Amino acid sequence: MFDPAQLVKSLPDAFRKLDPRKMIKNPVMFVVEIGAVLTTVFTITDSSFFGWLIVAWLWLTVLFANLAEAVAEGRGKAQADTLRRAKTETEARLLRGPAHNGVEERVTATALHVGDLVVCEAGDVIPGDGEVVDGIASVDESAITGESAPVIRESGGDRSAVTGGTKVLSDRIVIRITSEPGETFIDRMIALVEGADRQKTPNEIALTILLSSLTIIFLLAIVSLQPMAAYSGDPQSIVVLVALLVCLIPTTIGALLSAIGIAGMDRLVQRNVLAMSGRAVEAAGDVSTLLLDKTGTITLGARQAVEFIPVGGVSAADVANAAQLASLADETPEGRSVVVLAKEGYGLRGRELLGSTFIPFTAENRMSGIDQPDGHQVRKGATSAVVSWVRELDGIIPEETAARVDEISSSGGTPLVVGERRHGSARVVGVIHLKDIVKEGLRDRFDELRKMGIKTVMITGDNPLTAEAIAREAGVDDFLAEAKPEDKMALIRREQEGGKLVAMTGDGTNDAPALAAADVGVAMNTGTPAAKEAGNMVDLDSNPTKLIEIVEIGKQLLITRGALTTFSIANDVAKYFAIIPAMFASVYPGLDTINIMRLSTPESAILSAVIFNALIIIALIPLALRGVRYKPTSAANMLRRNLWIYGLGGIVVPFIGIKLIDLLISLIPGIG
């Protein structure tokens, strides 16, 4: 996360940022730069070794502040360069006429406009952002996501969006362009990761106002100090007054504030999440309610067989044998899981099935099965379908069958009944328990979120009984069953009316209204253009559980900013004890009692404080970029930790640092 070599690479940018037109955006450091200019002018007219040392370290303070921001931006530029390599000047096959048999025309990608239809076949680079309107193809998106595995893009549904710069690996698709040249997804990514489009967040603006107010207060205090010093017979030089001002204003957080914000967005980019605004990152740190889709987020998304339950005196091994035979022609994930469970749990493999007729599963018959040459027939499927099949021969339906089916349903699972016919008779032999598997480790993560005061809500289209069972197993706080788009919107509005910030994920057009309404709306990169436009974040990996990481990154951003603000203001206390006694001890001997550091000379005390003030910025750059280590806990514990570590540390560290610098400076002739 932090490469010291980046400091050297970023030095030219740090010097360029000395331009007052850029510095004025950071009021605290702008005051330091003005102070550096004043001390330079006055030292030229009244040259002294002490004055030139102060001048040098004031300019270094400004430079180090710019360096912190430049290093943060430099990492973004490195990522932007990678993205630019994916943004090539591509030739497009513009389609004039119908999608199936229109006339093709070769044009450059920059000539495409919203609504144009283009054709892409295997080996073609997609010329611009768009939506597949015809066909299906395998697409390599590694240039954008870093993931080497190809993805499927097809017309209709929620996996129709394609990104310019990605490559078609197979088949033929027709794409409707949805962005103008220069406004593509990659263009926006480049601008955002470079920091060019980074707007200050509300909290950042509020903190800047606070720091500016403190700077003005200290400036007025220093201005009023000179008449008092003159009256006491010990007027201070401009160099000393500027040094005092720079040491007392919150330069540490003023220097690092921008870098903290840039690094927060950078940490999201590191995890393949693109934040469309800094506001979204900040809001993620204050989220109170987390809406999570069940399928693919909380559960694996495909029901799996977990148990064979015998009925009517049949053994579990016989049920496994029959279930596997009936599932060999079932290509659904559920059917595959039945075969795997029978193989792994009962060692059933290497079947002799020559001459058998396979019955594939269809939506009409709701069963799959096999008819063997010896007359043995087996079926597996929905309860009503298999029971009807058995009853066609007046077969046996054991009494416990209904009870087992009800038990599985009430637990949130899906029952499949297994029946067989042999020699003119039929019977139900058992029930398969299908279960939507909850992802491993999610309960622990939800427990962590609960400690942070975040409420988790599972959204699903399942019936309330199934939803309740899954919610209980996953450990979420609440659930919304049989959810429609308007139900999601109503839930978000209800939470927001209580003053809470809401985050949710989505990938479909029907999710767009809710994504737009949520404070943090994370759209999947595989989703529709409508969903990606509605959200304020896009997950390039299309991993819905990423929402939990996004919340953690947002909280880390807020914690880092708060910790360094606490440290910055606290270390001003130590610098006060270093400089004030040194300035007036000769006139007011009583001040010597607060000279607890016993610094060598007044000049050494002032210079030591200025040097420490500059060096602490460089020392904290890695922490600002990496972020304060985040640990889920309550707000009260977090505040207590901040005060103990960064509040107390902000007081103690400067005392030690300034004293050590003073010991070194005391060796310099004319200062010590």
- Whether 578 contacts 660, CB under 8 Å: no
The per-residue pLDDT for range 92-146, each reduced to its tens digit, is: 888 887 766 678 888 888 788 888 899 998 888 888 888 888 888 888 877 666 5
- Residue given tokens 């513009």 in the structure block: 94
Residue 626 banded pLDDT, cuts 50, 70, 90: confident
Between CA 233 and CA 240 the distance in angstroms is 16
SS3 514: helix
Which of 81-85, 284-288, 461-465 reaches the highest mean pLDDT? 284-288
- Whether 214 contacts 158, CB under 8 Å: no
**Model confidence at 41: pLDDT above 80:** yes
SS3 500: coil
- Whether 231 contacts 308, CB under 8 Å: no
**Model confidence at 44: pLDDT above 70:** yes
380 is known to lie in a ligand binding site: yes
Question: For residue 441, what pLDDT is reported?
Answer: 77
**Model confidence at 157: pLDDT above 70:** no
Residues contacting 504, CB < 8 A, separation 6+: 290, 291, 292, 459, 488, 492, 514, 515, 518, 520, 521, 522, 547
Where is pLDDT greater, at 279 or 138?
138
Residues contacting 84, CB < 8 A, separation 6+: 190
Average pLDDT, the chain: 81
Question: For residue 180, what pLDDT is reported?
Answer: 81
- Residue given tokens 């630019």 in the structure block: 84
**Model confidence at 366: pLDDT above 60:** yes
The per-residue pLDDT for range 543-572, each reduced to its tens digit, is: 767 778 888 888 888 888 888 988 988 888
> Which residues are the active-site residues?
293
Dihedral (CA of 42, 45, 49, 52) sign = positive
The per-residue pLDDT for range 463-478, each reduced to its tens digit, is: 787 788 888 888 889 9
Q: From residue 323, give the alpha-carbon distance in Å to each of 127, 342, 378, 420, 435.
A: 49, 8, 8, 10, 16
| Strand-pair partners of 118 | 94, 175
The per-residue pLDDT for range 397-447, each reduced to its tens digit, is: 998 999 998 888 877 788 899 999 988 889 999 999 988 777 777 788 888
Mean pLDDT of 574-587: 71
Between CA 569 and CA 561 the distance in angstroms is 12
334 is known to lie in a ligand binding site: yes
- Whether 636 contacts 451, CB under 8 Å: no
**Model confidence at 148: pLDDT above 80:** no
- Whether 275 contacts 188, CB under 8 Å: no
Question: For residue 274, what pLDDT is reported?
Answer: 79
**Model confidence at 59: pLDDT above 90:** yes
Residues contacting 137, CB < 8 A, separation 6+: 120, 122, 152, 153, 154, 168, 169, 170, 171, 172, 173
129 is known to lie in a ligand binding site: no
**Across 44-48, 345-349, 366-370, 508-512, least confident range:** 508-512
555 is known to lie in a ligand binding site: no
Question: For residue 192, what pLDDT is reported?
Answer: 60
124 is known to lie in a ligand binding site: no
SS3 478: strand
